[in-house]
Amino acid sequence: MAQTQRDLEEDVASEEKTEEPPMFRVYLLNDDYTTMDFVIFVLRHIFNKNDEEAVNIMLHVHRNGIGLCGVYSSEIAETKVKEVTGLARENGFPLQCKIEKEE
């Protein structure tokens, strides 16, 4: 099939574009049963926050219902969610996480 001038321009444009990999926000959700100490533990050990950051994020989630814990590649974000939910269930807590794709 003949390639038009427009097709050629599109080819050049797409070759020049430097595509960033998609990134994913991981959020913690509030609930009435998970202890504050456990959420702080999760933020310290899974999201690598220091004590002050962990307390601030935990309180933000407690007061607002949801809070951002970090932004990761798809695979790392999925792993964080599995680690959080696995650890929470092992400890009898209903703590939930969610992932949102960045625009």
Binding site for ligand TYC (CB under 6 A): 28-32, 34-36, 39, 58, 61-62, 95
Contacts of 15 (CB under 8 A, 6+ apart): none
* Minimum separation from the CB atom of position 34 to ligand TYC (A): 4
* Minimum separation from the CB atom of position 53 to ligand TYC (A): 14
CA distances from 13 to 9, 58, 68, 103 (A): 6, 45, 35, 21
Closest listed residue to residue 31, CA positions, set 70, 83, 85? 85
Identity of the residue, 12 or 71, whose beta carbon is nearer to ligand TYC in the bound complex: 71
Identity of the residue, 31 or 78, whose beta carbon is nearer to ligand TYC in the bound complex: 31
